[in-house]
Structure 1
Amino acid sequence: LVRFRGLGDVYKRQGADYVDVNAGIFVGKEADYLQWLVKTVQEEVDAPCCIDSPDPVAIENALAVHKGTAMINSISLEKERYDALLPLVSGTDLKIVALCMSDEGMPETCEQRVKIADKLINSLVQKDVPIDNIYVDPLVQPVSTNSVFGAEFLNAIDKIMTGFPGVHTICGLSNISYGLPLRKHLNQNFAVMAIARGLDALIINPLDQRMMANIIAAETLAGRDDYCMKYLTAYREKKFEF
């Protein structure tokens, strides 16, 4: 957090829409520390937080001091977690990360991810959560443990984005390269591949200039940059110079 102080404006300029906050290491004190963390971060950066916790008490405490519309990270199809977090988001404007995980464990195939996403999206919409507030996380798993995990994730992104109009997709990108050398190289390439398949949100370090440059270029090439204005603006701001 000491490193974060003074970086708020930089984060915004680099394209951060939310700042992910997590106090899970403070076992037994997460609720207090997460609330403090949200207040402290929002003193430094004029942006909403992505409140990263499975604990509904910690999330509720954090929301009590949060300015603006927060994102909750995350609800899943695990019954205990789903039942605890649903009342916090139902009928609100909160954004919600819907993690493709169930009581059966982590999905490995595209089909398993899409099946969980289907149940999560439909149940959340039925509970008065607007579909455009839902960010499905199909769960990135490292290719170092199974060489097809990257391809299965990408296929799931494609099917979710085409099968559920209006929904968003998001992921913790760096998981893909866990256990391998030159992780940034893998992460940057995987980001471009995922954007090409429809991914529209990423949990990343916005100070990684090459990553951000690749994202801007990928979105332009994927048809998400009218008249290439974002690309041209980034060029004028020298965001492609490292």
Structure 2
Amino acid sequence: MLIIGELINTSRKLIREAVEKKDGEYIKQVAKAQEEAGATYIDVNCGTCIETEVETMEWLVDNILQVTSLPLCIDSPNPLALQAGLKKAANGKLMINSITFETPRWNAVLPLVKEFNTKIIALCIDDGGMPKTNEDRIRIADSIITKLTGEGINIDDIYIDPLIKPVSAGQKNGIEVLQAIQNIMEGHPGVHTTCGLSNISYSLPARKVLNTLFMVQTMARGMDSYIMDPTNKEMRRALIASQTLLGQDRFSRKFIKAFREGLYD
């Protein structure tokens, strides 16, 4: 299970304030907390800093790498910021968040994937826009995987994001994503799927409950990566317990270790 820690994002108030004040110690604190909570990647996103995004990305990466050896997921709509972050980040196998099948984005990001030999999150969006049906998701995912592997990208480095829509906007939005995950994983052995979970509960009460239960449901369909807050104990409890029940925890060692460390107190 690959966990991408989502907390270093300037859309979050405390991170934005730390960037504005050049408070590197706070950024280091957040990075270290995510590592200690079990993140395997740390996402770095300063896309709200439109005028200074390249410089801010470099500053963030410099601070993060002072306290962690985890590889980074460089996250930006701006290819120049992606490139700047990738050049600065030298830890392990890097990841880019994200590419789409839209022609401009594809042409801008694919060369970076090749140059830096990264893992890549691929959103199910093409020149026609967001998927309107489950069939659209599967079609776009099939096209992206075929094209990326045809360009020499290892299928093990591809993470398809099927794009979650709120169940408040359509009662079948949840089940359609579950069906897409299963279809994508079964249709392309070796590929991965990932997502951010919070969209599923948008505009509804008790969002943490919905997010946690949807994570469990997606795991049962084969999803093997999440963009999430690894310091959220409720999510970690559910994730580790689900891994154990799904046969992904040899001799239940992860679950026992987490219990002994007090996670289930």
Pairwise same-fold verdict (TM > 0.5): yes
> Equivalent of 2:171, from 147, 153, 159?
147
Equivalents in 1 of 2:159, 2:43: separation in Å? 14
- What is residue 122 of structure 1 aligned with on the other side? 146
Going from structure 1 to structure 2, the CA distance change for 1:7 and 1:29 (only over 3 Å counts) comes to closer
- What is residue 71 of structure 1 aligned with on the other side? 95
Equivalents in 1 of 2:117, 2:238: separation in Å? 31
- Alignment of 1:15 with 2:38, yes or no, is yes
Equivalents in 2 of 1:102, 1:28: separation in Å? 27
Equivalents in 2 of 1:176, 1:170: separation in Å? 14
Equivalents in 2 of 1:221, 1:211: separation in Å? 15
- Alignment of 1:194 with 2:196, yes or no, is no
The question of whether the paired residues in 2 share the 8 Å contact of 1:91 and 1:128 is answered with no
- What is residue 240 of structure 1 aligned with on the other side? 264
The question of whether the paired residues in 2 share the 8 Å contact of 1:157 and 1:169 is answered with yes
- What is residue 100 of structure 1 aligned with on the other side? 124
Whichever residue aligns with residue 24 of structure 1, its letter is: G
Cα shift at 1:225? 1.2
Give 5+ residue unaligned stretches, structure 1. Answer: none
The question of whether the paired residues in 2 share the 8 Å contact of 1:91 and 1:129 is answered with no
Q: Helix, strand or coil for the counterpart of 1:101?
A: strand
String of CA shifts for 1:120-148, please: whole Å, max 9, x gaps. 01111111110000000001111111111
Going from structure 1 to structure 2, the CA distance change for 1:84 and 1:7 (only over 3 Å counts) comes to closer
Q: Helix, strand or coil for the counterpart of 2:225?
A: coil
Identity %: 44
Cα shift at 1:173? 0.7
Which structure is higher in strand share? 2
Equivalents in 1 of 2:29, 2:129: separation in Å? 40
Cα shift at 1:108? 3.1
| Mean CA deviation greater in 176-185 or 43-52 | 43-52
- Alignment of 1:213 with 2:237, yes or no, is yes
Give 5+ residue unaligned stretches, structure 2. Answer: 1-14, 19-25
The question of whether the paired residues in 2 share the 8 Å contact of 1:142 and 1:177 is answered with yes
- Give TM-score scaled by structure 1 length: 0.95
> Equivalent of 1:176, from 192, 196, 200?
200
> Equivalent of 1:160, from 172, 184, 187?
184
> Equivalent of 1:133, from 154, 157, 160?
157
Whichever residue aligns with residue 57 of structure 2, its letter is: L
> Equivalent of 1:62, from 79, 85, 97?
85
- What is residue 36 of structure 1 aligned with on the other side? 59
- Give TM-score scaled by structure 2 length: 0.87
Q: Helix, strand or coil for the counterpart of 1:74?
A: strand
Cα shift at 1:7? 4.0
Going from structure 1 to structure 2, the CA distance change for 1:92 and 1:63 (only over 3 Å counts) comes to closer
Cα shift at 1:91? 6.2
The question of whether the paired residues in 1 share the 8 Å contact of 2:47 and 2:77 is answered with no
Cα shift at 1:218? 0.8
Equivalents in 2 of 1:139, 1:41: separation in Å? 28
Cα shift at 1:42? 2.0
Paired residues, what number?
Answer: 241
| Mean CA deviation greater in 168-177 or 32-41 | 32-41
Taking only aligned residues, the RMSD between alpha carbons, in angstroms, comes to 1.4
> Equivalent of 2:69, from 32, 46, 50?
46
The runs of at least 4 aligned residues of structure 1 exceeding 6 Å deviation read none
